[in-house]
Amino acid sequence: MEVLELARWQFGITTVYHFLMVPLTIGLSLLVAGMQTAWVRTGNERYYKMTKFWGKLLLINFAMGVVTGIVQEFQFGMAWSAYSRFVGDVFGAPLAMEGIVAFFVESTFLGLWIFGWDKLPKKVHLACAWAFSLATIASAYFILAANSWMQHPVGIVMDDGRPRLTSIWAVLTNNTVLAAFPHTIAGAFAVAGAFLVGIAAWHLHRKSEEERVWRSSLKLGTWVGVVAFAALSISGDLQGKLMFEQQPMKMAAAEALCHTEQPAAFSVFAYGDVTRPDCENVKSITVPALLSFLAHNDFSSEVKGIQDLVPMYQEKYGEFYPVDDRLGELSGKPIDYVPALPVTYWGFRLMIGFGAISAGLGVFMLWLTRKNRTPTGWWFPVLGLAGIATPFLANSFGWIFTEMGRQPFVVVPNPSGVDGVWMFTAQAVSNSTVGEILTSLILLTAVYSVLAVVEFYLIRKYVRGGIPGVLPQKSDDGALAFAY
């Protein structure tokens, strides 16, 4: 194994893992802030209990999101130092802004919220909940702005071989981030919605105490999920159109579209071997002209295929990697401009598929529980709990698709942007030894696996405990009502 491959595996594992916690944190913290608002405004105990229960699960998850996030901040410098040097003038700024403007708020006000239940006036305490939940959203914005710049570099000039920032405003209002942000946030709400639905369905089935808490939670969760799916579809469509323009190879790879078509059909399901860019042996079930519409809002437009894009890429960005020791085996070799097709093709379909299943389940659950009904069959909680996994899977596949789909680039060239601003992933890695990266890869993966088991166990424990498990014990003088 080469350093490059190991470093890519490490980045993939740590980032996908981190992004299991993040959407739940984002979605749930806003919902919890909403529940607490309902309690403060109406005085209804039911909302207090909801806040306490879902807040507890939020905290268990939040801790994991924070600690796995620290790794992200360090690993650009540790494993991708050449990348960090190349893009530092632009890329570091949104990361540092995230820290100063968002993450400080998030961490400080979360501490106040956890420990401040009896120490702060009710409304101040509520304001803390809003402060940290809105800060999680701001965090997401800055991080996505950084990521979007890698997909579509803007706001720069080329200076002495490196991009130099000329407009931070252009980076923060990149059309790529304007589409990616609502898509990601909606994905976070889809996760939180399914989480509420699954757990509430299980409690309803068990006839746990506080039936009304579970019923309200389930209703809230289904509506959140359904609205999130609508937002996901709209923002996803916008993202797709941008991608056809900004990263045509990625979209062709998403479709495994080998030859240019006009009008182009959308492939629903392929059988055969999608790994080969010549598309022999691939049969697929298609919807005529749909891809043309997705790309350009026009059922008769042309969509470029991989085989026509490759020569265009070769002409613009070179046929061979430069001869450079740091590139290892790839030095002087031809550049493969086609991303891993099975990953992009199936990643794209699994993202959409799991997203749709998740939304469908939400609607079905809403119908099942209409007029305070609760289905008695064992399948009802099973369906709910299994449904929790679907938006998580959709999110992960979406990210895997979009990050694998931009290979071999780490910074994708902007077709209408500044000349020369792109970077191949092979050029981005540090000159670390295999031993170093292998050590951290093994250690981090091991620690993450153990923590996954621990988090799952704790969430299960507190889910089972229901409402009585989360109400505070009385303390005499209230020094700490919600102690560790």
Q: Return the residues of window 442-461 that contact another protein according to CB under 8 A.
A: 443-444, 447, 451, 454, 458, 461
Q: Compute CA distances 266 → 269, 295, 343, whole Å.
A: 9, 10, 17
Among 13, 16, 40, 67, which residue sits at the site for another protein (rule: CB under 8 A)? 67
Instruction: Please list, residue by residue across 340-356, b when 16 or more beta carbons sit within 10 angstroms of its beta carbon and e when fewer do.
Output: bbebbbbbbbbbbbbbe
Q: Does 12 bind another protein (CB under 8 A)?
A: no
Least distance in angstroms from the C-beta of 140 to another protein = 16
Q: What is the spatial distance between Cα 278 and Cα 457, in angstroms, rounded to a whole number? A: 47
CB atoms within 10 A of CB 107: 14
Least distance in angstroms from the C-beta of 466 to another protein = 15
Among 112, 220, 252, 274, which residue sits at the site for another protein (rule: CB under 8 A)? 112
Residue 140 φ/ψ region, left for φ over 0, alpha for ψ in the -120 to 50 degree band, beta for the rest: alpha
Least distance in angstroms from the C-beta of 430 to another protein = 4
Here's the x/- map for another protein, 247-266, by CB under 8 A: it reads as --------------------
| Closer residue to another protein in complex, CB, 98/255 | 98
Among 16, 40, 101, 137, which residue sits at the site for another protein (rule: CB under 8 A)? 101
Q: Does 91 bind another protein (CB under 8 A)?
A: yes
DSSP 91-160: HHHHHHHIIIIIIHHHHHHHHHHHH-TTTS-HHHHHHHHHHHHHHHHHHHHHHHHHHHHHHS--SEEEET
Specify which residues 409 forms β-bridges with. 424
Among 21, 22, 33, 93, which residue sits at the site for another protein (rule: CB under 8 A)? 93
Q: Compute CA distances 183 → 144, 230, 239, whole Å.
A: 11, 10, 8
| Closer residue to another protein in complex, CB, 272/469 | 469
Beta-carbon-side half-sphere exposure of residue 143 (alpha carbons within 13 Å)? 18
Q: Does 119 bind another protein (CB under 8 A)?
A: yes
Among 84, 208, 301, 331, which residue sits at the site for another protein (rule: CB under 8 A)? 84
Strand stretches in 345-404, DSSP E: none
Q: Interface residues for another protein in 417-436 (CB under 8 A)?
A: 430-433, 435-436
Q: Does 246 bind another protein (CB under 8 A)?
A: no
Least distance in angstroms from the C-beta of 173 to another protein = 14
Q: Three-state SS string across 16-36, please? A: HHHHHHHHHHHHHHHHHHHHH
Query: Which range binds another protein by CB under 8 A, 97-105, 270-278, 336-344, 382-390?
Result: 97-105
Q: What is the spatial distance between Cα 100 and Cα 107, in angstroms, rounded to a whole number? A: 11
CB atoms within 10 A of CB 371: 4
Least distance in angstroms from the C-beta of 62 to another protein = 8
Here's the x/- map for another protein, 130-169, by CB under 8 A: it reads as -----------------------------x----xxx-x-
Among 13, 16, 40, 95, which residue sits at the site for another protein (rule: CB under 8 A)? 95
Let me know if 217 is exposed, middle or buried by CB neighbors in 10 A (0-12, 13-18, 19+). Answer: buried
Q: How many residues bind another protein (CB under 8 A)?
A: 79
Could you give the dihedral angle defined by the CA atoms of residues 433, 439, 444 and 447, in that order, rounded to the nearest 10 degrees?
A: -170
Least distance in angstroms from the C-beta of 443 to another protein = 6
Q: Does 98 bind another protein (CB under 8 A)?
A: yes
DSSP 162-182: EEEES-HHHHHT-HHHHHHHH
**Residue showing tokens 């495994």:** 256
Q: At what angle do helices 122-151 and 3-42 cross, to 10 degrees?
A: 150
Q: Does 334 bind another protein (CB under 8 A)?
A: no
Least distance in angstroms from the C-beta of 71 to another protein = 5
Q: Does 483 bind another protein (CB under 8 A)?
A: yes
Among 1, 42, 44, 70, which residue sits at the site for another protein (rule: CB under 8 A)? 70
Provide the 3-class DSSP secondary structure of residue 69. helix
Q: Does 22 bind another protein (CB under 8 A)?
A: no
| Closer residue to another protein in complex, CB, 315/325 | 325
Among 13, 82, 127, 290, which residue sits at the site for another protein (rule: CB under 8 A)? 82
